[in-house]
């Protein structure tokens, strides 16, 4: 069965960096696009970034462009999100999600999330 396990969350000061990981299993990781989606406490879902199956296409929501970088290592079945210049408003639970397709499609499966708290 598909499993997505996020890690790397924690408490970080504004302006600092954090790198999230998502370990995938139960499917051919190198064939599917992968997303990061976040959710602030008590708020709705916000799409953050997507990476194509081969890493050659990457898209970001406007609020994180230039600060966050999505990447993947298909040899390790792992997705990453490097977050730099963190702001208070980046505080949220970050979910990784498997796309149904090579890039686009549904958010077919979700991990349980990892909490990022940006606070001084």
Partner 1 sequence: SYVLTQPPSVSVAPGKTASITCGGNNIGSKNVHWYQQKPGQAPVLVISYNGDRPSGIPERFSGSNSGNTATLTINRVEAGDEADYYCQLWDGSSDPPVFGGGTRLTVL
What does the binding site for partner 1 look like in residue numbers (CB under 8 A)?
35, 44-47, 50, 59, 61, 95, 100, 103-113
Q: Compute the least distance from the CB of residue 43 to partner 1, in Å.
A: 9
Taking the least distance from each CB to partner 1, the nearer of 14 and 110 is 110
Q: Compute the least distance from the CB of residue 119 to partner 1, in Å.
A: 22
Taking the least distance from each CB to partner 1, the nearer of 17 and 104 is 104
Q: Compute the least distance from the CB of residue 32 to partner 1, in Å.
A: 14
Nearest Cα residue to 91 out of 1, 3, 14, 7: 14
Q: Tell me the two tokens of residue 54.
A: 């081969």
Taking the least distance from each CB to partner 1, the nearer of 14 and 39 is 39
Q: Compute the least distance from the CB of residue 35 to partner 1, in Å.
A: 7
65 — phi, psi (to 5°)?
-55, 135
Taking the least distance from each CB to partner 1, the nearer of 17 and 54 is 54
Full DSSP string of 38-106: EE-TTS-EEEEEEE-TTS--EEE-GGGTTTEEEEEETTTTEEEEEE-S--GGG-EEEEEEEESSSSSS-
């Amino acid at each position: 069965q598909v499993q997505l396990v996020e890690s790397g969350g924690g408490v970080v000061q504004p302006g600092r960096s954090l790198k999230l990981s998502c370990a995938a299993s139960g499917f051919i990781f190198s064939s599917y696009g992968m997303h990061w989606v976040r959710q602030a406490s008590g708020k709705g879902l916000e799409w953050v970034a997507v990476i194509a199956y081969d890493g050659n296409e990457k898209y970001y929501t406007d609020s994180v462009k230039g600060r966050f970088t999505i990447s993947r290592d298909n040899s390790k079945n792992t997705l990453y999100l490097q977050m730099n210049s963190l702001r208070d408003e980046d505080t949220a639970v970050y979910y990784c999600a498997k796309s149904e397709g090579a890039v686009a499609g549904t958010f077919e499966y979700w991990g349980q999330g990892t909490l990022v708290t940006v606070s001084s």
